[in-house]
Amino acid sequence: MSAENTNKYLTTREVATFLNINEKMVYSLVNDKGLPATKVTGKWLFPRRLVEEWLESHVLNFQKTGIDRSSNDGILLMAGSDDLLLQRLLSLYYRKGLGIVFFANLGSMGGLKSLRMGLCHIGTCHLLQDDNAEYNFDFAREELERTPVFVNFSRREQGILLQKGNPKGIHCLADLAKKGVRIVNRQLGTGTRLLLDYEISKSEISARMIDGYQREVGRHLDAGLEVLSGRADAAPAIRAVAGLLDLDFLPLRWERYDLLIARERFFEKGIQDFISLLHDQEFRDIAASFTGYDVSACGKMLFPDNFQGRE
């Protein structure tokens, strides 16, 4: 390919840099948002002109606003990825008279965006980085202007929910493309969806081969209920849902789920009360009642190497 033609096409890394996103998000945009791409050479290539036209077609005008309310007012605002154990913690926070928590289930990327726009006090996310080892740091670096405080909530096991007894014989991701298998997926922008998109991109199948890949639900529990009801044969979610609904489970990996806190709010009483609750024995007992969680590092601050926001 000539130098002139090479400049007309972008690699996955180059298009990620051009769009200012993580590389794994590129696969999601191809599958769900129609990002122009070709794999005719065996590797993904993106026509620069078509990418620019695609980007322009997705421009939206919106009003950027923020909140002035302190968490000391008794109201804590959270946004991001949903979690079964987190919901129990929010109830415990209220029962102990510490305040009321409003949680917006926007997915991990939505939590980061809400934190950037000042629309929440705490964002929750579990976004796997390109190094396949760390979580959240690179995404926060790309999205946030100031370095947040990272506090671990848990490690949890991600995988594929299956009907009890696994009647469709699903033993690996490739089996999701078998005839007669229907899935339900998670929404674009969630860490669970990002993980599945990435794992599928590495496999011998494509998202287009999977029946139901574009059918989305908002929560892990919603995914589980679709499988339990028989409306889907499989769905990506955490093991805790399989335990709760007595479903079979195909494990993919353990992941880290973090709380990201705006550092200017970190020492507010409402925030500190919430973090203190992570060490409460009642909460630890609740965590022990779930399958698929590891809370040994829960409540610990995390310090990425050489992390700097875009200041």
Least confident window among 1-10, 44-53, 225-234, 247-256: 1-10
168, 180 contact by CB (below 8 A): yes
- pLDDT tier, 41 (very low <50, low <70, confident <90, very high otherwise): low
| Average pLDDT estimate for 72-91 | 90
38 and 175 fall within a common domain: no
> What is the residue whose two structure tokens read 């609750």?
277
Q: What is the CATH number of the domain that holds 102?
A: 3.40.190.10
From first CA to last CA, the distance across the chain in angstroms is 40
Q: How far apart are CA 63 and CA 119, in angstroms?
A: 12
Given a cut of 70, is residue 291 above it in pLDDT? yes
Q: What is the CATH number of the domain that holds 14?
A: 1.10.10
176, 186 contact by CB (below 8 A): no
> What is the residue whose two structure tokens read 């945009």?
29
Least confident window among 66-75, 126-135, 146-155: 66-75
Among 52-56, 72-76, 175-179, 263-267, the range of highest mean pLDDT: 175-179
Task: Supply the pLDDT for residue 58.
Answer: 64
DSSP string covering 120-188: -SEEEE-PBPTTSS-BSHHHHHHH-SSPPEEEEEEEEEEEEEE-TT-TT---SGGGGGSTT-BB-EEPT
Task: Supply the pLDDT for residue 4.
Answer: 42
Beta bridge partners of 242: none
**CA–CA distances in Å: residue 29 to residues 16, 66, 124, 186:** 11, 28, 22, 14
228 and 244 fall within a common domain: yes
pLDDT digits (tens, 9 = 90+) for 203-240: 989 999 999 999 999 999 999 999 999 999 999 999 99
Task: Supply the pLDDT for residue 65.
Answer: 52
45, 10 contact by CB (below 8 A): yes
* Overall domain count for the chain: 3
Task: Supply the pLDDT for residue 257.
Answer: 97
Task: Supply the pLDDT for residue 137.
Answer: 92
- Provide the residue range defining the domain that includes 53: 3-57
199 part of a folded domain: yes
